[in-house]
């Protein structure tokens, strides 16, 4: 049996009108949860202050150093292991790339490419998640 999970963001208006909330398969639910984990800073969740990752805590001026990248990569991996029990054998890869914004005065921003590879706990099926985050200031692709 394939369990069904609630799709994010939750439709609270529909819930108040007693409508069935949209659901999604486990892989999509995990991807949504990982995305939420990446875009949450420590202390933002009232019920779990450790939920989130180090991306928000780092000085973006130091982004080009290897230690910055390693710190963020290890933080993401620890967060996934701690807060996503549906995955096992988690490995993360983080790349920092320059990204030129054409319509904004030829501005160059840093883009964080995050790849998470793992296996689903129940089925041992391979799982891959990729996300791009523009940093300094943080925004999503």
Those residues whose C-beta lies under 8 Å from the C-beta of residue 87, and which sit 6 or more positions away, are 30, 80, 81, 118, 119, 120, 121, 127
Please calculate the CA angle 89-94-97 and round it to the nearest 5 degrees: 160
What does the pLDDT average to over 22-28?
Answer: 91
Which residue in 110, 116, 111, 112 sits closest to 130, CA to CA?
116
Q: Domain-by-domain residue ranges, the chain? A: 5-140
62-110 per-position pLDDT tens digit: 565 678 788 889 999 999 999 999 999 999 999 888 766 666 555 667 7
Residue 3, pLDDT score:
59
- CATH architecture entry for 5-140: Roll (3.10)
């Amino acid at each position: 049996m394939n369990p069904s999970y609630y799709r994010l963001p939750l439709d609270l208006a529909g819930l108040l009108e007693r409508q069935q909330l949209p659901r999604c398969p486990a892989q999509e639910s995990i991807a949504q949860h990982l995305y939420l984990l990446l875009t949450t800073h420590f202390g933002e969740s009232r019920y779990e202050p450790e939920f989130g990752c180090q991306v928000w805590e780092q000085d973006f001026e130091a982004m080009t150093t290897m230690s910055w990248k390693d710190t963020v990569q290890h933080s993401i991996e620890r967060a996934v292991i701690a807060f996503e029990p549906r995955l096992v054998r988690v490995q993360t890869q983080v790349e920092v790339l320059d990204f030129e914004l054409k319509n904004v005065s030829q501005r160059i921003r840093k883009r964080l490419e995050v790849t998470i590879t793992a296996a689903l706990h129940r089925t041992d099926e391979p799982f891959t998640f990729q996300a791009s985050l523009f940093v300094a200031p943080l925004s999503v692709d």
